[in-house]
Amino acid sequence: MRINRYIAQCGVTSRRKADALIAEGKVEVNGVRLMEPGYDVKPGDIVYVDGNRIDAVQKKLYYAMNKPVGVITAVTDDRGRPTVCDLLPEAAERVFPVGRLDLNTSGLLFLTNDGDFAFALTHPRHEVEKTYIVRVAGNIPKEKIARLRSGVDIGGFVTSRAKVDVITWNRHSMVLSVTIHEGKNRQIRRMFEAVGYPVQELERVQVGNIKLGHIKPGHTRALTKAEVESLLQAASKKY
C-alpha cells in the first residue's frame, strides 16, 4: 500500500496532507526518513509520523460538526488558537477534519479517521455539492446575481454555474442560499467580492444530502452508515 494511503488509513490525516508531511521530512519507515511519496508499505514495516508510531485503524469513525466562527479547521495550531479537534469530547478517538472552513465561516464540517472517505469528499474531480447561507450588506442587483449563477472570475479561475436564491432582504442587507460543487479556497467569499458585495456572514448548511440540522455550535454527532454511503455516492456523481 502506498505510504500516503497508509498514513490516511491510520487516521493521521488525508492522503494529500500525508504527501506534504513526507515532503517536510516528517515520515520515517524502519528508522529511515522518507523524502519521496512513492514508497509502498510492506508487512512488518514500522512507520513514524512526526515522531509518533502509527498503526492501521480498526474502527472507522465519521462525525458531523457545527463549526463555530473563530475556530481553526485543523488538528493542532502552532499559534495556540482553538481548533475543531479541541471541541471533541475528551473520550473521542483521533480524527481529522475533512476539507476546511475558514476562521470566520461556521457550519457543517465532517471529521473522520478514514483517509479514503476524506479523499473522496475533497478531491476536485468528485465535486460534491455544498450549500451555504450568505449575508451581505445592501441589495445585490439582479444582473449581478445572474453573474454569480453563471460563473465569475475569482482571480485566474472562472467558477462553474451555481444555484443562487434570495432568502430575505431589506434596505440594509440580503441573505442568500448558494450551492456550488467546487472547492476553491474561500470560493464563496471570492465570488461575492468579485461582484462587489463582500460577505458579512457565511454558514455551510449542507454537504451532499447531509444537512447541518439542529447540531449546536461546537457540538458533533456521529454519521450513520447510510449517511456515509450517501456521501460517497455523491462523490462519484459526475456533472
Q: Which residue bears the cell 528508522?
A: 31
- What's the number of CA atoms in the CB half-sphere (13 Å) around residue 50? 9
Mark whether 102 is an active-site residue: yes
**Long-range contacts of the stretch 68-76 (C-beta < 8 A, 24+):** 68/106, 68/217, 68/218, 69/103, 69/104, 69/105, 69/106, 70/103, 70/104, 71/103, 71/218, 72/103, 73/97, 73/99, 73/100, 73/101, 73/102, 73/109, 74/100, 75/13
Q: Is 112 helix (H, G, I), strand (E, B) or coil?
A: strand
From the list 102, 114, 116, 153, the catalytic residue is 102
C-alpha to C-alpha distances, 108 to 33, 51, 136, 167, nearest whole angstrom: 37, 32, 20, 19
Q: Which residues are catalytic, by number?
A: 102
